[in-house]
Every structure is written in C-alpha cells, then in structure tokens.
Amino acid sequence: MHAVAGLIQRRLELFPITATYAPAGAPDCSAELLIGGCRVRTLAQEYGTPLYCFDAATLDAAAQAYHTALARYYPGESAVTYAGKAYLSRAIAQWTQRHDLWLDCTGAGEIGIAAAAGVPRHRILVHGVNKSAADLEMAVRHAGVIVVDNPTELHRLAPMLRASNQDISLWLRVRPGVAVDTHAYRQTGQEDSKFGMSPQEVMEAVRFCIDHGLKLSGLHFHQGSHFHDPAPIGPALETVLDLVAELASTTGWSPQSLCPGGGWGVAYHEDDLPQPDVEHYVRFVAQRVAEGCRQRGLKLPSLHLEPGRSLVARGGVAVYTVGAVKQTATRRWLFIDGGMADNPRPALYGARYSALPVIDPDRPLLGPAWIAGPYCESGDVLIEALPLPAMEADELLAVPVSGAYHLAMQSNYNGARKPAVLWLDKGAATLIQRRETLADLLARDMGIDL
C-alpha cells in the first residue's frame, strides 16, 4: 500500500496545483478527486465524459511565474505572449488579458476568436508560415503585430498596410539554424526548417521595410516546442544578435522587441518529474540576451517570451469513463470514451501520459494497463503500460497535463463530438465550451441529394 501511496503522490504532482483526494461525498467509496475545489465525479455526472477541466489557480500561477522571473532576471522591458495555438477559446483569451499577456494567433480563425473575446489590437500578435489572403486581411483588421515569415508575405502585406490606417508593427521571423532538443516534428529552428527567414533574407526584408516606409519593430525566432534544456537558445541568440549588430551598422535599424519564442516543456508522466522550472529557462534567456547586447554595445530590446504549453498544459485535466475491459495475450486493455479524437498527441508523436482513477486511487495495483480509445485505428492508444489498479466499466479515469494541444488539435473522427470544457475556480465550475452535438456535425452538411 505504501508504494501505491507514493505513486499516487507523484502522479498528483502532474495534476493542477489544487488537485487533491478528499473523503468522498458518496458512501460507496473512500476518496475522490477534487480540482479547483470541485468534485470531479459530480462534474462528470453533470456534464458527461469525455470532459476537459481547466483549473484557474494553476493557469494563474503559471502566468505569474513568467512575469516574476522576467522581472527578476531581465534588466529591460519585457512581455509574455500566450501562444494561442496550445488552446484557444474566448474564456482563455479573456484570461490572458487578466494577466497582461499578449495573444499569439495563427490564422484568421484564431484572430477571430481573440477579437470576439475583446482582446485589444495592441495585444494581438499574428503568426503563420503561409498566411492566406484571408489571414492577412484579418491580421490587418485586428492585430497590433504581424510576424512576417517570408519575403512573399512581406511583399503581399506592404500594400495592405499602406491602405490601412491602423497602427500595425511588423516583426521578422529569423531561422537561426539551431533547433532545440525535442521530437523532430516539433523542431522549428533548424537550417532547413519550413519556418522563418535566413539571416540574409532578414537583411533584405529590413531594407525592403525601410524603403517602403513600413513600421518594423521586432525580430522573432522559435526553435521548437516542448524542450527541457535551454542551451540551444544560446547559439541561436548569438546568430540573431550578430544580425542585429550588422543591421544596426549597415541600415541604422534596430529591433525595439526581440522574441526568442516559447516552447518550454512540461512533465507529462511521473518519470518526467520534477516539473521543468520556468525560472531556470527565463533566467537563461534573460541573462543571455542582456549579456549578448552588452558585448555588442546594443541597446536592450524589450524581451518577449511566447509560451503556450507551459502556461496551460498542467492546468488541464481530461476525464474519461471506462467502457469495456479486455484481456489479450499479454495486455490488459481499458477502453475509455475518448482518445485520438480529443488527444492526437500519442498517435502523432508518441507522447507519453499518466492517469489516476477519480475514485479510490489507493487500491492495490494490478499491473500495467493499455488505455485505448474507441476509434477505428490501432494507433488510438492514449497510454501504454501504465500501472493501475483493477478498473471496471463505468469508472472514471483522469488524465493530467491535458491543457495544451489536445482540444486545439481535436477532430471529429468517427463522428466524435468535441467534449465539453469547464473552468474550475474556487469551488465553482463554469461551462466555457459546450459538448458538440449531432446537430453541430450536421450543420456544415448541405444535405444535398446527388
């Protein structure tokens, strides 16, 4: 039993900071999971499963950790941008504004959500590797900063910006030639990456902006997502600050803002603990930027960090109901009512998760379980070989670290209806996105008899 208690404790560290097991409200069990002061079983009964819950206190603490570390380690101005690609809804967009965060939007859809949430123009920053005409039009209509990915985009934007009387700044995205250590699918900074411009292309883009009177105020680079070692940011910063020095001497232009992207990782499984330390990452970046500028005699730019996952992943929990339980030659299968449709990360790049039963987690372990979804793909296995107690049909399972790149990447595969999303704060649960219905699935269908 002692080993079980230790394992539960470690897994609980992956959950939101408010997560706890408390004496159960019902007579048929001894302990049940609470998040944000709310009983998860009661939420599942009321809203159904799969169910996604965001814990406000965990999100608040994550935003505060970035602000505190930047204030402590960076001697100049700074800002934090939430990378909305991790998960975006009107509620999250409004949450960013309560924490003075900028909001990074990719494409017209995300810009539209930010605008609908009332995020002010000067806080909306637009990314995208191949922005369509519609994306650019929405960016010009709503954004304060557009991060230019390539020369073609810059040439398309120039007349649109001249025709607009809005206060829009451009940043240029540099491809520094160094990626962070992460899955190949999440690396973006390497020399042959599809993202950004070479330093030479950036030089030409700066001249183009000067010649065409465009408001250019920043440089950006992002080397990849979900890394645990900030070291590769060092050489990338050297490349970018060398470029800044060369630009200053050859064109007289210097960036007011410098953004080395986001991408700091989180712990998904108990084997990944302890939690990667935001302060360690921010200190590394802040000190390297300050020192690099000092060495080159450059004015300190405003330092922007652009995290997504490390702001929202831990705050999110996915709750599923166990359906069938099956034993095959070597595996105990627990089937749950969600999987690759709401969380494609295990199928996409082998992401490894953990889980806890919502009720009575401290039962003796029965050995490893393979937790699979209902979808028609053998790759629809959410968690492999996770030690769990015996679990039966109708029990609830909670999967932590579900706040980033699940709902943002979810699909309607096999007619799946996207789950309801709750905001949990001080014992109150608010529905921020309702569950999709069959009517939603049919809404785009023209119903034409061919």
Ligand X SMILES: Cc1ncc(COP(=O)(O)O)c(C=O)c1O
Residue 406 sits in the site that holds ligand X (CB under 6 A): no
Q: How far is the CB of 225 from ligand X (least distance, A)?
A: 3
Residues in the chain: 450
Binding window for ligand X (CB under 6 A); candidates: 20-28, 153-161, 201-209, 222-230: 222-230
Residue 314 sits in the site that holds ligand X (CB under 6 A): no
Residue among 413, 397, 400, 376 at smallest CA distance from 325: 397
Residue 304 sits in the site that holds ligand X (CB under 6 A): no
**Residue nearer to ligand X on the CB measure, 104 or 135:** 104
Give the x-and-dash track for 242-261 against ligand X (CB under 6 A): -------------------x
Q: One of 29, 53, 209, 376 is an active-site residue; which one?
A: 376
Reported in sequence order, the residue ranges of 18-94 that DSSP labels E, i.e. its strands, are: 20-23, 31-35, 38-39, 51-55, 78-83
Interhelix angle 107-116/90-98, nearest 10 degrees:
60
Rounded CA separation 338/51 (Å): 9
The answer to whether 293 is a known catalytic residue is no
Residue 445 buriedness (CB in 10 A; 0-12 / 13-18 / 19+):
exposed
Rounded CA separation 149/129 (Å): 6
Rounded CA separation 308/99 (Å): 14
Q: How far is the CB of 367 from ligand X (least distance, A)?
A: 33
Q: Which of 70, 83, 247, 356 binds ligand X (CB under 6 A)?
A: 83
> Would you say 369 and 334 are in contact if contact means Cβ atoms under 8 Å apart?
yes
Binding window for ligand X (CB under 6 A); candidates: 26-34, 304-312, 316-324, 369-377: 304-312
Binding window for ligand X (CB under 6 A); candidates: 83-91, 95-103, 273-281, 386-394: 83-91
Residue 128 sits in the site that holds ligand X (CB under 6 A): no
Reported in sequence order, the residue ranges of 355-436 that DSSP labels E, i.e. its strands, are: 356-357, 365-372, 381-389, 396-399, 420-425, 428-433
> Would you say 77 and 97 are in contact if contact means Cβ atoms under 8 Å apart?
no
Binding window for ligand X (CB under 6 A); candidates: 50-58, 68-76, 301-309, 431-439: 301-309
Residue 419 sits in the site that holds ligand X (CB under 6 A): no
Binding window for ligand X (CB under 6 A); candidates: 33-41, 81-89, 425-433, 441-449: 81-89
> Would you say 389 and 315 are in contact if contact means Cβ atoms under 8 Å apart?
no
CA atoms within 13 A on the CB side of 104: 24
Residue 84 sits in the site that holds ligand X (CB under 6 A): no
Q: Which of 11, 131, 142, 222 binds ligand X (CB under 6 A)?
A: 222
Other C-beta atoms closer than 10 Å to the C-beta of 90 total 15
Residue 262 sits in the site that holds ligand X (CB under 6 A): yes
Q: Which two tokens stand for residue 139?
A: 């960016």
Residue 232 sits in the site that holds ligand X (CB under 6 A): no
> Would you say 58 and 401 are in contact if contact means Cβ atoms under 8 Å apart?
no
| Footprint (CB under 6 A) of ligand X, residues 90-109 | 104
Q: Please confirm whether the linkage preceding 274 is cis (ω < 30° from 0).
A: yes
Q: Which of 263, 301, 316, 346 binds ligand X (CB under 6 A)?
A: 263
Q: Which of 55, 306, 342, 395 binds ligand X (CB under 6 A)?
A: 306
Residue 308 sits in the site that holds ligand X (CB under 6 A): yes
**Residue nearer to ligand X on the CB measure, 73 or 171:** 171
Q: Which of 131, 226, 304, 314 binds ligand X (CB under 6 A)?
A: 226
| Active site members | 376
Residue ranges in contact with ligand X by CB under 6 A: 83, 85-86, 104, 127, 222, 225-226, 261-264, 306-310, 404
